Amino acid sequence: MRRRSINTPVGEVWQTLESDQAYASNWIREHFIKKPEDYAVMEFYVRDGVYHDNYGAIREASRRTGDDGLVIVRVGKTPLQEMLYQMLGYEQFAVDFYENRELFESLHSAMVRRYQELYEFGANAPVEVLQLADNVTADAIGPERFQNYLMTEYAKLKARLAGTGKLLAVHMDGRLRGLVDQIARSDCDIIEGMTPPPMGDVSVRDARLAWPTKALWLNFTSSVHLEAPERIEAHTRQLLSEAGGKRGLIIGVTENAPLEALERSLFIIARILRETT
């Protein structure tokens, strides 16, 4: 465990992190905002921050990748999702959305204003695809908040990308059945991280019908990586059949699984994709 602190002239906030070897990342065990006074600190932090581009690193990644892949830029999460996952956590988010709404909205508004700078960097980045890493799940965000807070940001970024040729992907890896209509109206080109049943609750067939103009970047159903080879093959063929072909479809991995299982399953998935016209 380790603590990450933010010190400002108006106070200090901190979070507790636990390392995760599988993701080479961290799980947040305690979030920055724990009491109403912490909002002033986070808002100062947001307003005082200085953004810089990392175009050099992007160009170097593209050079190394060459024709073997596609480098994308992660802009971050939209302000509301950043507050949920990075600053508040589920319980504090739920409480403050109703009991400390003025503080909640003030911080969100400050983030919305600063995000225009991030969108500008993204629009000028030397890539073809931008990603908002929103980790959307209907159970947490609900249709009203999705429409009022998330869709408005998608529209702003998509409008800024007009004429650049760039595509916008949004990471929606949770349960999406309760947001089907809102997602259909949202301004994005790619639903990234969508997880089919039995882990998700929207099938590829239903997604194609509901979102015919959007590409699907699937998270291959994580539990199936652990199945027998014939089961992995059958599931892959089912996903392709429901999608009606490979156009507008990517099959990827966005959740952790044992390395030995991934080596086996990705080989099978890739073989079937090559064989399919």
Number of domains the chain contains: 1
- What pLDDT does 195 receive? 95
Is 32 a domain residue? Answer: no
Report residue 160's pLDDT band, with 50, 70 and 90 as the boundaries.
very high
- What pLDDT does 97 receive? 98
- 179: number of Cβ within 10 Å: 23
Is 20 a domain residue? Answer: no
Q: Rounded to the nearest 10 degrees, how much is the dihedral formed by the CA atoms of 250, 254, 260, 261?
A: -70
Is 271 a domain residue? Answer: no
Q: For the residues 211-236, what does the mean pLDDT come to?
A: 96
Q: Which domain holds residue 191?
A: 42-219
Closest CA to 25 of 259, 273, 254, 218: 254
Mean confidence (pLDDT) of the chain: 95
Q: Is pLDDT of 168 > 90?
A: yes
Is 114 a domain residue? Answer: yes
Share of the chain above pLDDT 70, in %: 99
- What pLDDT does 46 receive? 98
Q: For the residues 161-180, what does the mean pLDDT come to?
A: 97
Q: Is 231 helix (H, G, I), strand (E, B) or coil?
A: helix
CATH code of the domain containing 190: 3.20.20.210
Comparing 21-30, 224-233, 247-256, the range with the smallest average pLDDT is: 21-30
Is 79 a domain residue? Answer: yes
Closest CA to 255 of 118, 86, 102, 135: 135
Is 123 a domain residue? Answer: yes
Is 67 a domain residue? Answer: yes
